[in-house]
Structure 1
């Protein structure tokens, strides 16, 4: 392999020899000038001969043969100055190629070079500096401010602030609490922290990332290998043109001029630099591409397969609502359920406890807790026998009541799951859960279609009804439900008949399907899972829209590579013809060819950037987006109240309906309307400056006006209903509430998606 110093040393030698020879010539010593120029050229020729022999030993044909022939021809024909200039151009081109390749691999090299070598292990209160390879699971480690986390582990300190920008491309630090799982590779930007290692360094997240980065930096794309073959085909063509020029003109200088301008640099430089620049650009955005072949396949993909849970949806169950059968209020039921759920490590139990954490009433300590795996929990809370779990667990050996049947039917319609609550041997209510669609999913799928995807298919093991609703909301073309891992593999393999396939997933059971696709893409922010190891692309930040970004980068890199080849080789061929006809002497040809090489390399480096007009909108600062999201979170309970009252208004007693409607109107007028008016008057003008188009906020402004109209209409209806209940039916008010609920739900979803897509992080 060429030493790092060799190309700069050759360049320095040729740059010294060229003016030294010129000085000798001006001082009246042409023989010395010729000797200096020929010497520098012969040194470069010797290096070329050595490299050609090394390639022949490896059974490779070197395209440097043309350059060697041009130097030899110039020396033999007494064109010492031409030989020296060719030597300078070759040395400068090789040096430029070397530094350009380093520039193209910069982001990959950053990932590799920052890998920690030393860890601080705590043993009996003493710190030991040990090689990171000696860290074992269970070791207590200290990570000081500014140090890279050496292994995956569990946070022992109360809090930790980590900068994961080198992994994910997200600029803002993340704050974690004690007990959190943390992955290697992040930088501690806060106080020194302690963690307990859960993996060795070799099996930690960052080791997998470094391994992929090293493989990518050494990879060769199919397009690059094809370009090499075309470059080799240039050798006989060049010799033919040079021979004809000499034969027809009788002037060997013309043959030399053809050799000088016949370098295949546009082929052998443009493609690998553009592809490597694309891989490096992906790494900067938290998208780790395994090799050049994967990047090329990514640019050609036409069929996309998506897992549902954790890919299209968040993969994290959240409490949607608490429903009561009548004996207890929603707050009482949540308190009882959460108090009991504290005793279980199940993620569903954790979600219930998290939902109750917003209440001011502290949770009680459960007693006599018994857990039946796959069924539920039972125990005593505040003197009540409480059960939490599946419907059959609560209602064992008893026929379902009307409330139970209605709730089960509603859960089926809404594609939600739930944990039923029994209190003192009676069905008391249910906690409903939802695995919501990722905010970016619809927008990401639209962008993927723009990037070249013609068909999107969702694969899931869930029930068909649930899968269909998620698929419709996300905008997929086809849903295949109730599939096991083998059936997912078969679906991906079958999809290849429609074009190159992508498979995106995040779970261990997705690994076979990821491996079966032309390109497997793993959402690997949670660590180096089996799915990450089977994938050709790993997203270090769990955002589905990064898939579309990866496709855009891949397509742009391949386009830039092709542009470099076509334009560069076109110019070289024109220069060869001009030289053959006698219009381009060897000295001018060498200078022209160097200009072509520099232009090709600079063009290839464009793949490092996002390009002009890369985004349809500029970005808001992450702090602005966080504030917008907090405002929406504060209004979530109000929106739930609108939905809840809309569902039950027509069935309520008249007095109860009037009271609930009046309380809701008061909240709408004091909380919702001021918020929406502030959005319309202050936020939307700000957002319009970040978006393209004449009036990009017009659709959302229209929904604002509809919200204002419906709230005003409800106020009038409430007045009429209070004055004369016979003049207005509860059904009419209920229908207006339903319309308001629908508009609010759609409006907030659109705003959440917009805020998410404008996030700078």
Structure 2
């Protein structure tokens, strides 16, 4: 039977957008229209010069005008939509210059302005497409089908048809589809994506299980208590959507200069007209004032920054995300899977006298080859990573979720939790009880031939680069760093000892994580870093969300603005430096472009420039600021 992840490509009903299948989104339409808007004025400009050189000069103006109209029409639609949202952008200056050029018969100037505007819009959308093309569909890990017991048989049914009291089979590796109760003896679940607990937990018959947890033990039956739309996982999805809807959008860098530049342009153009009585002077001012340095140079610098970050393994979802990354002042960071690796690893081996650590691990891992338990898998992986030769186990008997015993190399071996081994080997009691175990750790006891052989301590350790990354972020101007974890407080505090954190918050629900993010915003723009499903709402609510995309949940990657494509925290300072350099270069281009444009506007107002000459001078300014913006791509490695 096909696995749940492959049975359907359509999202569950509670995740579907209202847009009907096959209906293009606004982003899809922009993807199709913007290249066309660049092509039309380019073709018109070349065609106009072509017919002029062929002796049909009277047709060139008409061709240029026709090529300008589609761009102007699209621009006016954008302006109306922006004004309805209360946004006033530099697009108005471009619309005024194109409209005035057409009205006064300066068709060459009109088509040049149209080409520059359309090119800038295309570059800006290109940055977003480049960043999003590798993203998976929303919440790819959400189960879409369920295996339901019915009349003594198993049937695969759509998730939205599951009703309370239905009995479902949850196989090993499956994501629990709905909230319910364990209906068989025991279930071993990985809830790290939901609660931040890195160590799998055991649920006995009758105990509740949250949807979104992963079954890492044997298959078990689940008695549904809620429908999919009412379950824990669906609630987290709704939190994500609400957080995204309430998140204030960041203004484009160029638009922050819009109002002042627009007022200056209108004053200079109107003053030139009134002073000279010649409307062409006003047109020349408008053409020179067309904010191509802002429309072009800023997207070029931003796209360059996105590309530099991508080369370092950091996926930045567009220009606004890069601008925000350059401005963050506060960091909220998750623990499990972010500051730590997100899975239990051996941190200490305590062998009995006469036994080496490698020998103890070899014995335990040899027997654990017969188990599917996640801790057994961790021991086997560690032994193989150390190059130990594992012996085949025989006569194995396993107590699911507790431990197992069997023969390894002619010796009787017991491996499992301390309580399980004590039941099998009472002689191990003294050694086990007297030991001190690290907070949040898992202790695996081993006995050989009826005698205690030692202990294996597993925990989710701090990433080796975590402390250095936090210090580097401090040096980059992050003034406040806070931990927000769903794990137990004692575990969170023990793991973060020695880190330069301003606050540690633990045992947080997704709602409380959002509240922490909102509280931290009073210190400045907030960057949130996380990896689990429970982090996704907070990632969406933060000014900038960064997801650990290599091993993290698809929900967090979708809700975040930045995704780490490699499972390493040290890529974050690299991305911050790349973003700040790109923003700094973009601002240099803005200031230089505006300064030169103002000089050109004054010259045009005094009658020293015609509209066409103004357009050509503006082109020279464009080339200069674009070359400067490209330094964001060619500069030194931000690492």
The alpha-carbon distance between structure 1 residues 266 and 432, as it changes in their structure 2 partners (threshold 3 A), is: same
CA distance in 2: counterparts of 1:572 and 1:363, whole angstroms: 78
RMSD: 4.2
1:612 corresponds to? 636
CA distance in 2: counterparts of 1:454 and 1:445, whole angstroms: 11
The secondary structure found in structure 2 opposite 1:366 is: strand
1:68 corresponds to? 98
More helix, by proportion: 1
Q: Which of 597, 603, 609 pairs up with 1:578?
A: 603
The answer as to 2:396 corresponding to 1:407 is no
The answer as to 2:560 corresponding to 1:529 is no
User: What's the CA shift for 1:557?
Assistant: 3.3
Q: Which of 281, 287, 291 pairs up with 1:264?
A: 291
Q: Which of 42, 50, 75 pairs up with 2:65?
A: 42
Gaps of 5+ in 2: 1-29, 84-90, 137-157, 159-172, 175-247
Count how many residue pairs are aligned between Structure 1 and Structure 2.
494
The answer as to 2:394 corresponding to 1:366 is yes
Q: TM-score, normalised by structure 2?
A: 0.65
User: What's the CA shift for 1:251?
Assistant: 4.6
The alpha-carbon distance between structure 1 residues 22 and 87, as it changes in their structure 2 partners (threshold 3 A), is: farther
CA distance in 1: counterparts of 2:96 and 2:602, whole angstroms: 16
1:430 corresponds to? 455
Q: Which of 242, 245, 269 pairs up with 2:269?
A: 242
Q: Which of 314, 321, 325 pairs up with 2:352?
A: 325
**Equivalences for residues 275-424 of structure 1 within 5 A:** 275-326=302-353, 330=357, 332-357=359-384, 358=386, 362-373=390-401, 375-381=402-408, 384-396=411-423, 403-408=431-436, 411-412=437-438, 417-424=442-449
The secondary structure found in structure 1 opposite 2:346 is: strand
Post-superposition CA distance 1:113-152 (Å, at most 9, x none)? 9xxxxxxxxxxxxxxxxxxxxxx9xxxxxxxxxxxxxxxx
Q: Structure 1 stretch 536-545 or stretch 358-367: which is displaced more?
A: 358-367
**Equivalences for residues 729-748 of structure 1 within 5 A:** none
1:564 corresponds to? 589
User: What's the CA shift for 1:494?
Assistant: 3.1
The answer as to 2:454 corresponding to 1:439 is no
Query: Is the contact made by 2:431 and 2:452 (CA closer than 8 Å) also made in structure 1?
Result: no
CA distance in 2: counterparts of 1:572 and 1:354, whole angstroms: 64
The secondary structure found in structure 1 opposite 2:496 is: helix
Query: Is the contact made by 1:221 and 1:275 (CA closer than 8 Å) also made in structure 2?
Result: no
Query: Is the contact made by 1:18 and 1:84 (CA closer than 8 Å) also made in structure 2?
Result: no
User: What's the CA shift for 1:544?
Assistant: 0.8
1:223 corresponds to? 251
CA distance in 1: counterparts of 2:287 and 2:421, whole angstroms: 87
Q: Which of 69, 73, 89 pairs up with 2:112?
A: 89
Q: Which has the higher contact order (CA 8 A, sep 6+)?
A: 2
Query: Is the contact made by 1:222 and 1:292 (CA closer than 8 Å) also made in structure 2?
Result: no
CA distance in 2: counterparts of 1:49 and 1:333, whole angstroms: 76
Q: Which of 537, 542, 549 pairs up with 2:567?
A: 542
Query: Is the contact made by 1:73 and 1:256 (CA closer than 8 Å) also made in structure 2?
Result: no
Query: Is the contact made by 1:294 and 1:536 (CA closer than 8 Å) also made in structure 2?
Result: yes
2:495 corresponds to? 470
CA distance in 1: counterparts of 2:50 and 2:263, whole angstroms: 35
Gaps of 5+ in 1: 25-31, 76-82, 114-135, 137-152, 155-219, 616-761
Whichever of the two has the greater Rg, that structure is 1
2:623 corresponds to? 598
Query: Is the contact made by 2:301 and 2:586 (CA closer than 8 Å) also made in structure 1?
Result: yes
User: What's the CA shift for 1:419?
Assistant: 0.9
User: What's the CA shift for 1:424?
Assistant: 4.6
User: What's the CA shift for 1:430?
Assistant: 0.9
Query: Is the contact made by 2:349 and 2:457 (CA closer than 8 Å) also made in structure 1?
Result: yes
User: What's the CA shift for 1:484?
Assistant: 5.5
Post-superposition CA distance 1:521-557 (Å, at most 9, x none)? 2212136533323333222221112222232333333
